[in-house]
Amino acid sequence: MKEFVELVFEIAKVFGIPAVAIGFFIWQGHKREQRLAARLDGVEDYIRETLQGLVRDGHAAVMANTGMMEDFTAALKTRPCIKADVEMLEARRKPGG
């Protein structure tokens, strides 16, 4: 640390106080950028992991829905009166039906 302070005083002697101030602000900006980059990496990792799970779950749901629709379509080909059966069952469930 003592060497660093001596270096700062030497720079101040040779180039003046404004050079030291400029060096400080450059160093401060560099440190800020390092912290920001680390935070952004963490956020990007979280988003990537979350999106992968959502896409995986969404894909599974679409595949299940597709399978059910294929089964339903196959059933309609053999029994096209399913809609009438459903309407009849709903009519029975209604009070007074």
- Digitized pLDDT (tens) for each residue of the chain, 97 residues in all: 788 888 888 888 888 888 888 889 998 999 999 999 999 999 999 999 999 999 999 999 999 999 888 888 887 777 767 667 777 777 887 776 5
Q: How far apart are the first and last CA of the chain?
A: 92
pTM of structure: 0.48
DSSP secondary structure code for residue 16 in this structure: -
Q: What is the pLDDT of residue 63?
A: 92
Q: What is the pLDDT of residue 36?
A: 97
CA distances from 23 to 13, 29, 37, 74 (A): 14, 10, 21, 75
Q: What is the pLDDT of residue 45?
A: 93
State how far the Cα of 84 lies from the Cα of 56, in Å rounded to an integer.
37
Q: What is the pLDDT of residue 56?
A: 92
Where exactly are the structural domains of the chain? 2-93
